[in-house]
Structure 1
Amino acid sequence: MEGNQKQLPEVWMRGPIEGVPTLLQPVAHALLQVQEDVEKYTKGLQNTSIWQRPANVASIAFHLQHIVGVLDRMFTYASDLSLSNDQLYYLQKEGVYDQTVTLNVLRSNLDHQLQISLEKLKEVDINTLTHIRYLGRKRIPTSLISLLFHAAEHAQRHLRQLLVTAIVLRQEKDNMYYSK
């Protein structure tokens, strides 16, 4: 804790997210936890480090881009739609170095995509959760609930990987990637 700030309990312990169906509260909670944890774990990180790949692991920039992309893609499939050319282009660009992409841009993109995802969760008819949806070009059959759960789980998975990369960067001998 910094200063007089009280540490809040994890998002899921704070109660329901208004407008999100009860059965989808775990998805909403997981997504909001990603948002808070990204802010927490990237605090003080300098833009020069977001593309670093210590021990050849994926960069923080990749993880942030990938979370955005996965949410966009999974919610597209959940809407029973195919990916657009723009979405396929974004997928190809995830993790490709771009010096103009800053941490603030990445966080802003994540916040925007999380808001879109939460709004889409609010629109889900819970009577359709077991309806078939198709994943990818191969149109792998799955269910709506599976796509929504996977979106949240996959975002959490990449958050954990981002955390490990951030820890390694913090431990760099000279701490040149973080401001003091």
Structure 2
Amino acid sequence: MSTSLSRQQAQSFSLVALMAALMAVLGLIPKIDLPFGVPITAQSLAVMLAGCLLGARRGFQAIALFLLAVAVGLPLLSGGRGGLGVFMAPSVGYLAGYPLAAGVTGALMARLPAATPRRIALSAFAASVLGGVVFLHAMGIAGLMLMASMPLRQAVMIDLAFVPGDLIKCALCALVVHSIAWALPDWRMGGRA
């Protein structure tokens, strides 16, 4: 029995690791602290990119790998945070939602039109809005209700503070995806077969 990796498997592992590293790099951008315990960070952009560029499975794996590194104590979250304690904070819904949102974004991206770079960019924007904003924010709201004991209405109102910035991240994601689609026309957006 051979234990060597195929070229395709090695490439897949590399892309997962690189996306996890991109998530860590975006953590170097200073966070904006808000009074209710959930900071504004650039890291949700990597969640959107993971889904759009790698697809549901590999996007999920990349962000899960990142969170595993955070859980073992690496200070990779924005502001140099890491360790199990971050999973006990009001932001836990967003953190737990990161890999799932990457998966949802990737699944949507694989099903949206991809005939031209422009169409791919529009699909990336739509997938990012639905997976990286709507789905992720629903997870975040659930975390606020659970960990901060907030009623639904208050959690939704607090979550609205993140929407404008996340829509900008969706546009940035679409621009990056457009550039990659134009430069690398064979790239399988959303993990397409």
**Normalising by the residue count of structure 2, what TM-score does the alignment of the two structures yield?**
0.26
Q: Which structure has more helix as a fraction of its residues?
A: 2
Between structure 1 and structure 2, the one with the greater Rg is 1
Q: Which structure has more strand as a fraction of its residues?
A: 1
**Normalising by the residue count of structure 1, what TM-score does the alignment of the two structures yield?**
0.28
Q: Which has the higher contact order (CA 8 A, sep 6+)?
A: 1
